[in-house]
Amino acid sequence: MKKLIIAFALMLGCMAAANAQLLQVQQSPLSSPVVPRAAKAPMQKVLGPNQLYMGPYFTDELTDAGLGLATINETVKIGTVLTLSQVQKFEGGQVKAIRFGLYQPVDSARVILWPVIALNPLTVGEPLIDQEVPTTSAGWNEVAINEPYTIDLTGLAGLMLGFQYRQVSSPSSRTHPISAVMAGNEICPSFMYGYLGTETCQWYDVGLSSYGNLSVQAIVESENFADYDMVIKDLVVNDYARVADGVNFSLTMSNLGAKTLDNYVINALVDGQVVDAFDSPIALTPTEVNISGNCSLDGLDLSVGKHTFALQIASIDGEPVENGTTISGQFTAYYEAFERQKNVVEQFTSQYCTYCPWGEQFIQAVGDRCGNLAWVGIHGNMSGTDVFHNTRCDQIMSYLGVDQSYPQATFNRFDYEKAGTIAFGIGFQPSVIPMYADYLNESYIGNNWTPVVANINLGGTYDPATRELKLNVTGQTTSELKTLYGSGVGITVYLTEDGLVGRQLNNGTWIDDYTHNHVMRDMLGTISGTALKMVDGTLNYDNEFSTILNEQWNPENMHVVVLVNRKGSGTKKEVFNCEVIDIKDMPAPSQGLKGDVDGNGSVGIEDVNAVINVMLGTAQNPKADVDNGGSPGNEDVNAVINIRLGN
């Protein structure tokens, strides 16, 4: 049996980035007074014997960016609905305490528990608990209930747990008191009761669920709680698994029972067959933990393509579990891959984006760690016209599903967190950039998440007189490429420029002489990627691109960034490999290119034919003696082919 590893708690999907356009959720009247930051690490309050939390989540996690209705001055109530299935096991238990988390202290506080008569529309009865809270403070406020309530769910659709407080308007240190965090088994709906600037006092959905779960919990005591109530969920399986390396996965685990569970077994299955077992990787309590692991695929005769991976609870406290909870996902198995030459970041930015310099610091920190990061800066317009923006910027952002919420970035165009998007916010405060850069590099970029199905060789010429750039992109593919992706793999070509000085908004202040690097000037070929031009009967590809550089661009500071990428829809746009060439290092056509027998400025199949024609005596050409062996022959044909392939 194998052990699993406790994963680092922070996930990219929970990274609280400062996004210039998303400081509050759309269509929600709630606002936040500060730039969101990383939430406090979850910890667990020690409960008494036979006690469990009842609430939307079970940790001590609180927000670092409070919420409130900044235009309202009135006493309001706020609560979270817990459905019957969520509270069923608490029936007959006593509510001993209620606690609620605050970002700022409040006045007129009370803790309240309501019966929910109906869910749709929400119908709430008279409070079952309604107790005053004399004083509050930022953080958790725990209130022992004077007359503990015994939970009776007869005729109810659930319970609503919450509190009352005085909402004040700006400016005030008590304007944004509400704590909501992305934690728990699911996001429970929350509502607020009051006038809220209207003529009707009722329950309103103010959009709190968009921010997460309300920080409120009840402490329930019962002699009837089950010792063990093991939960496994949120299985994430790496999209790709090289058979020799096994399949990587992560999941969330907890035990909602009254005792700590430290003896259990989880089976791993591939296509329904048990292939491994994991024995008690960590003692389980109601606090959710994220666990990651690797399942060996040794000895399995897996075809190249999709397979099912599953985890199933096999035993609890030494007792076998029949038909235990099973969670599953899919992965694509493969055997062949090249070494990755470079990773690529596509940065989405604007001169008018106030947190974009933070985003650049983050990318630089990631690049320092991984050491092989190619960088493309794609500019968009915001409140004004960005001078580095062009129509190609709009086209690539549209293709990659990026809106005008900067700074964002894609790393290898991979949906690392299965969030349904390949771009995420990167405006992290400088104090947390090292931590997030370490995490991204070690947990994601440091792993080969996608098979490198092709290598990349770059060649060509640049003519300073005409400013004509001719680019040769050649290489080899794996024999599995067609099985995995068919014809859906292409080449994306970016032209970028460094050293461009212009204005930049930086944390609310304009900098007039900011240096912009990696600026995307143009793209060659199609936006989604020009299809690989395969050489008949081989695994080799051979593509050519050409353009005339704009007179305003400085070729001494320009780079060509070439991607081999998936030409898919949605999030199926992974970058398999990347390489970069500096235009200043490309030879001029007049210098002559070794292997360019026909003198067209590139090395291709035409040059092979030119050598053969000289060998057959149908043409004369001194350049046909490519290997300088004295006369044209088969060695020269091989030399041309090797030059073309970059060998």
Convert the pLDDT of each residue in 280-297 to its tens digit: 989 998 778 889 899 999
pLDDT class of 96 with cuts at 50, 70, 90: very high
pLDDT class of 352 with cuts at 50, 70, 90: very high
Q: What is the rounded (10 degree) CA torsion for 32, 37, 41, 45?
A: -20
Residues 6+ apart with CB under 8 A from 158: 81, 82, 83, 84, 86, 87, 116, 119
User: What pLDDT is recorded for position 14?
Assistant: 37
User: What pLDDT is recorded for position 577?
Assistant: 97
Residues 196, 207 contacting (CB under 8 angstroms)? no
Q: What is the mean pLDDT of residues 483-508?
A: 97
- Better pLDDT: 611 or 449: 611
CB atoms within 10 A of CB 577: 25
In angstroms, rounded to a whole number, what is the distance separating the alpha carbons of residues 389 and 379?
A: 5
In angstroms, rounded to a whole number, what is the distance separating the alpha carbons of residues 183 and 206?
A: 19
CA atoms within 13 A on the CB side of 306: 4
The domain ranges of the chain are: 31-221, 230-334, 343-585, 592-645
Look at residue 583 and give its three-state secondary structure: helix
- pLDDT tens-digit series, residues 198-248: 999 999 999 999 899 999 999 999 999 989 999 999 899 999 999 999 999
What CA–CA distances, in Å, run from 381 to 251, 350, 353, 386, 509? 40, 6, 9, 5, 18
In angstroms, rounded to a whole number, what is the distance separating the alpha carbons of residues 105 and 97?
A: 19
What CA–CA distances, in Å, run from 623 to 165, 609, 627? 86, 13, 10
Q: Residue 449 gets which letter from DSSP? A: -
Q: Residue 48 gets which letter from DSSP? A: -
User: What pLDDT is recorded for position 464?
Assistant: 95
Tokens of 62: 């609180």
Superfamily for 230-334? Immunoglobulins (2.60.40.10)
User: What pLDDT is recorded for position 634?
Assistant: 87
- pLDDT tens-digit series, residues 8-65: 333 333 333 444 332 223 346 877 765 444 344 455 567 888 899 999 998 899 998 8
- pLDDT tens-digit series, residues 324-341: 999 999 999 999 999 999
pLDDT class of 7 with cuts at 50, 70, 90: very low
User: What pLDDT is recorded for position 82?
Assistant: 98
> In three state form, how does the secondary structure of 183-239 look?
CCCCCCCEEEEECCCCCCCEEECCCHHHCCEECEEEEEECCCCCCCCEEEEEEEECC
Q: Of 330, 233, 341, 354, whose CA–CA distance to 288 is shortest?
A: 233
CB atoms within 10 A of CB 475: 25
Tokens of 99: 């606690």
Rounded-to-5 percentages of helix, strand, coil across the chain: 15, 40, 45
Q: Residue 538 gets which letter from DSSP? A: S
Residues 337, 455 contacting (CB under 8 angstroms)? no
What residue type is 158 in one-letter code?
G
In angstroms, rounded to a whole number, what is the distance separating the alpha carbons of residues 177 and 105?
A: 6
CA atoms within 13 A on the CB side of 39: 25
Place of tokens 């995995």: 484
In angstroms, rounded to a whole number, what is the distance separating the alpha carbons of residues 412 and 398?
A: 17
User: What pLDDT is recorded for position 212?
Assistant: 93
User: What pLDDT is recorded for position 65?
Assistant: 86
- Kindly tell me if the per-residue pLDDT of 6 is higher than 60: no
- Better pLDDT: 563 or 617: 563
The DSSP bridge pattern shows strands 110-119 and 129-132 to be antiparallel
- Kindly tell me if the per-residue pLDDT of 601 is higher than 90: no
In angstroms, rounded to a whole number, what is the distance separating the alpha carbons of residues 342 and 494?
A: 14
Q: What is the mean pLDDT of residues 415-428?
A: 88
- pLDDT tens-digit series, residues 380-416: 999 999 999 999 999 999 999 998 889 999 999 998 8
CB atoms within 10 A of CB 206: 20
User: What pLDDT is recorded for position 454?
Assistant: 98
Tokens of 565: 């990428």
CATH 1.20.1440.230 fits 592-645, yes or no: no
Question: What kind of fold does domain 31-221 have according to CATH?
Answer: Jelly Rolls (2.60.120)
- Better pLDDT: 251 or 10: 251
The dihedral sign for the CA sequence 109, 111, 117, 121? positive
Place of tokens 């907890």: 254
User: What pLDDT is recorded for position 287?
Assistant: 77
Same fold, 31-221 and 230-334: no
Residues 527, 399 contacting (CB under 8 angstroms)? yes
- pLDDT tens-digit series, residues 151-207: 999 999 999 999 999 999 977 889 999 999 988 878 999 999 999 989 999 999 999
In angstroms, rounded to a whole number, what is the distance separating the alpha carbons of residues 140 and 215?
A: 9
Helix H or strand E encompassing 145: strand 139-150
Residues 576, 451 contacting (CB under 8 angstroms)? yes
In angstroms, rounded to a whole number, what is the distance separating the alpha carbons of residues 111 and 631?
A: 95
User: What pLDDT is recorded for position 27?
Assistant: 46
Place of tokens 């096991």: 89
What residue type is 534 in one-letter code?
M
Bond into 189 cis (ω within 30): no
Helix H or strand E encompassing 371: none
Helix H or strand E encompassing 550: none
- Better pLDDT: 74 or 46: 74
